[in-house]
A and B are shown apart, each in its own frame.
Chain A
């Protein structure tokens, strides 16, 4: 089983899209390490933020520039990961290795669980490294250890895990990486809030159908809002995050059930 998880992990590591993500994270770490400095006033508060040699008032930087940059960064990271998921899950099901793996002692359930674990383990480790690096850089520059980066990335990881199972399902059903990624974005982020808006105005029969669809979709919009609110309010609602866990199992079970039934013919 370890061999399979390691193999999937290796495939994620060598994936070109994931390499773009790694490069982006490395650039952010380099910028924060070498091109970001803080100047303190007499009371020990940060007065000026020095970035690429330019002096910016701390008030403006923390209230305007940092949130905008953070949202942009999270958006780019999410898009790259969602497209990577489409690519990785489609490959997981189209992998010609599957035929040979399945005739060894590996069952179909194990094959998919190992693939799913390998892919998501990579992003968990990636997020852990990235948030630790950011926290350490801030610690060495300010003598203040912040936990927001950890909370943000734990939150984002759970959000991505919910997306991951949906893209996994569509990657398996459609075997098309672009459409799977697109549905991965549209399904929970756009369709879910849209349904929640129209559900009250629909006729009773349609309302029931829409509600059923609504409850089939993980509450990702709430989760994403939570992730982003951390910057402003430090509010962290664990209950709503944990709500996604049953959804993760639900979608994973559907894939496992369907994969047990299909012919491995490619």
Chain B
């Protein structure tokens, strides 16, 4: 458990980024940090990583008192590190820093490059890649490291639907392997698909936190699949060359994904139509304004 106690961060010119935050973040969960711009989400992540020093308060991980004892992996927001470095050199550089053995590192890099479909761009300079591709490289960098905690700052921004889907699968896999994933994102409807625990910040203050299962209301999703399944469980509509199915509720959605996967049908996109998280978040923010 990450115990955050009375955490305050005041930057120069008296800018208050975080104000007296106290919360326990549960281990082995997917935690979403939500908030408007300037809510203090990124500052909170950087304090957890030890990059930013708190003005007061502390962070205690698993009652050890020492943050550095635990392995963190991090995807910074607006990921573009160095325009002049090649993708492969970048990944090998960080792989070496993370202490991964050379052969194992090369195999992992190749696998991830194939997974995110950027293998052909491995010898390109990062400045020549699109924003989405840079984020994919950043994600690979974060995934190369076997960590206890994965902190992903805006990981889906600029990603195409297929890559988002893959990223979601990876996040679930990390959780199943015992890691804790902390995500900072504006895309609430998407977070609702995988987050277990929500932390809502507003202007540096913690205004609420809760488990996703405690969230009332049901979200609706539109799932696009590549071909028509031979079943009578769901209703499908034809859309150009693909098929659409509307699903109510996150649990039904998870069942549907498993069902479609079992028939080896490709899921092209999952689009939330209405989101209970969005309603919950908006109502909280409205109260603050």
Interface string of B205-246 (1 = CB under 8 A from A): 000000000000000000000000000000000000000000
User: B97 near A3 (CB under 8 angstroms)?
Assistant: yes
Given A3-B93, A96-B82, A100-B74, A263-B50 contact (CB < 8 Å): no
CB distance from A25 to the nearest CB of B (A): 23
Which of B46, B84, B145 is the one whose CB lies under 8 Å from A265? Answer: B46
Asked if A102 CB lies within 8 Å of chain B CBs, one says: yes
- Which of chain A's residues 78-129 have a Cβ closer than 8 Å to chain B? 95-97, 99-106
Give chain A's interface residue range (CB within 8 Å of chain B): 10 to 19
> Are B52 and A106 in contact (CB-based, < 8 A)?
no
How distant is B56 from chain A, measured CB to nearest CB, in Å?
14
Complex interface residues of chain A between 225 and 266 (CB less than 8 A to chain B): 261, 263-265
Instruction: Write out the residue numbers on chain A whose beta carbons fall within 8 Å of the beta carbon of B98.
Output: 104
Q: For A265, what are the chain B residues with a Cβ–Cβ distance below 8 Å?
A: 46, 51-52
Fill in one digit per residue for B26-42: 1 if any A CB lies within 8 Å of its CB, else 0: 00000000000000000
A150 at the interface (CB under 8 A from B): no
User: Smallest Cβ distance from A169 to chain B, in angstroms?
Assistant: 20
Does A14 reach chain B (CB closer than 8 Å)? Answer: yes
Candidates A99, A105, A106, A261; contact of B51 at CB < 8 Å: A99
What distance in Å separates the Cβ of B83 from its nearest Cβ neighbour in chain A?
10
Distance (Å) between the CB of B16 and the closest chain A CB? Answer: 14
Q: Which residue of A lies closest to B84 (CB)?
A: A14
Q: Report yes or no: B46 in contact with A100, Cβ–Cβ below 8 A.
A: no
* Across-interface contacts of B52 in A (CB, < 8 A): 263-265
| Interface presence of A61 (CB below 8 A) | no
Q: Chain B: how many interface residues by the 8 Å CB criterion?
A: 23
Give the chain B neighbours of A214 by CB distance below 8 A. none
Residue of A3, A14, A103 with most chain B CB atoms under a 10 A cut-off:
A103
B51 touches A7 (CB 8 A): no
> Is B81 on the interface with A (CB-CB < 8 A)?
yes
CB < 8 Å neighbour of B72 from A103, A106, A263, A264: A103
Which listed residue (A96, A103, A105) contacts B49, Cβ 8 A?
Answer: A103
A96 to B145, CA, bound (A): 18
B7 CB → nearest A CB, Å: 14
Q: Which residues of B contact A100 (CB under 8 A)?
A: 74, 76, 81, 94, 97, 141
**Residue B203 lies at the interface, judged by CB distance under 8 Å to chain A:** no
A151–B141 CA distance with the chains assembled, in angstroms: 46
In the complex, what distance in Å separates the CA atom of A57 from the CA atom of B120? 63
Q: A99-B46, A264-B52 are known; give 15 further A-B pairs, CB within 8 A.
A: A3-B93, A99-B51, A100-B74, A100-B97, A100-B141, A101-B97, A102-B49, A103-B50, A103-B73, A103-B74, A104-B145, A105-B99, A263-B46, A263-B53, A265-B46
Of all A-B residue pairs in the complex, the 3 with the closest CB atoms, nearest first, are A264-B51, A263-B52, A104-B97
Which residues on B are within 8 Å of A, measured CB to CB? 11, 46, 49-53, 72-74, 76, 80-82, 84, 93-94, 96-99, 141, 145
- CB-defined A-B contacts under 8 Å, sample of 30: A3-B97, A4-B97, A14-B84, A96-B80, A97-B81, A97-B82, A99-B46, A99-B49, A99-B51, A99-B74, A100-B74, A100-B97, A102-B50, A103-B51, A103-B72, A103-B73, A103-B74, A104-B97, A104-B98, A104-B145, A105-B99, A263-B11, A263-B46, A263-B51, A263-B52, A263-B53, A264-B46, A264-B51, A264-B52, A265-B52
